[in-house]
Homo-oligomer: A and B are copies of this chain.
Amino acid sequence: MKKVSDIGEFDLIARIESILPKELPSDILIGPGDDTAVVLPDMDIVQLLTTDMQVENRHFKLEWIRPYSLGKRVISVNLSDIAAMGGNPAYALVSLCLPDHLTVEFFDQLIKGMRDQMSAHDAHIVGGNLSGGSDKLIVDITMIGTAQLGQTITRSSSKPGDRIFVTGSLGGGFGGFKVLEKFGLLYPDNFAPLVESYIKPIPRVSVGRELARSGIATSMIDLSDGLSGDLRHITDMSQVGAEIHLSKLPVHPALNNLAALTSSLPYEMALHGGDGYELLFTTSSDVSDDDIRELNARVDVKVTEIGRITDKENGLWLIGEEEERIALEGKGWDHFG
């Protein structure tokens, strides 16, 4: 089977061009192929700029994931950061470091996955870079999104008394990573929902946009580092404290199967496990249960209240099942850990 090292950089670029859509929207004046892409920003918008690097054997293993799914996943991880600001994805630049042994078919499938996940959000790959020189596949995506001026939702503006919510369920992606680490693809069927969470995370772009449009969120972050770590990002940057309730956490149900195999309880994985791409957001205490029911009706994922923002002096606490207070360490997921 042909390897990427057999055909050279220029031929690989030609393959990308044949895979990407021919028609570009009118705001992309120049797409891939020149020294830079050229885009024309709209008036009255701000741009959101983010980048995320995924490294073979650190963030994924090639034995675990098909290249098409990997392409979708690396795009989703970046879409999630745009979602966490309440933004609308627009453009991506794709940098790849390709090991020599990678097949051309793998390369094509990877690009197709990226293309399709971008298209699903009406967004476009506008450029990139290819390199060799590593024995591991490294995918670095830069994503550029847009938002209305004044509608971005940062990490730094939650206030004491604010209500804390998360989307979806927690710990699934982390659990899937652990399952794949233990079993590879030969995992028992009851772990399939966890593996699905890891392989195909759903970036919460539409929830993020709905929150930006409605103006009810005071702060927001995506849970890529895990709930405890990312909540700490919010409290650090907002200069506040927080209390969350163990009994309210929407722990991924399939984590019960995993507890016997790991030294962690399901709630611990939900609390500290990374590789999750749900959103955590806060709203003012004025926002009513009716407002939240309305939000839940408009979006495609369940939104669950898990606690309250407090004064900074209060610190960060997990309230246990018997109302005991457990100091919440922002362990999070550290890719150097």
Contact = CB atoms under 8 A, between A and B. Distances in A.
Contacts of A38: 46-49, 85, 147, 152
B4 A336 contact: yes
Contact of A55 (B34, B94, B97, B335): B97
Q: Which of A36, A47, A96: most chain B CB closer than 10 A?
A: A36
A8 interface: yes
B237 A36 contact: no
B237 A55 contact: no
Interface string A207-220: 00000000000001
B140 A35 contact: no
B9 A336 contact: yes
A91 B138 CA distance: 23
A66 to B, nearest CB: 21
In this complex, the interface size class of chain A, counting residues with CB under 8 Å from chain B, is 35 or more
Contact of A93 (B50, B54, B128, B136): B50
A142 interface: yes
Contact of A58 (B91, B132, B334): B132
A47 B46 CA distance: 13
Contacts of A265: none
A52 interface: yes
A138 B55 CA distance: 11
A53 B81 CA distance: 21
Interface string A78-121: 00011011010001011111100000000000000000000000
Given A127-B51, A140-B95, A36 B222 contact: no
B134 A34 contact: no
B145 A142 contact: no
Q: Which of A47, A98, A221: most chain B CB closer than 10 A?
A: A47
A149 interface: yes
B35 A222 contact: yes
A261 to B, nearest CB: 24
A142 B53 CA distance: 12
Interface string A142-184: 1111010100101110000000000000000000000000000
B29 A37 contact: no
A39 interface: yes
A57 interface: yes
Contacts of A221: 35
Contacts of A298: none
Given A85-B35, A144-B49, A40 B133 contact: no
B34 A154 contact: yes
9 contacts: A5-B336, A35-B221, A36-B84, A52-B95, A58-B132, A95-B95, A95-B142, A131-B335, A134-B136
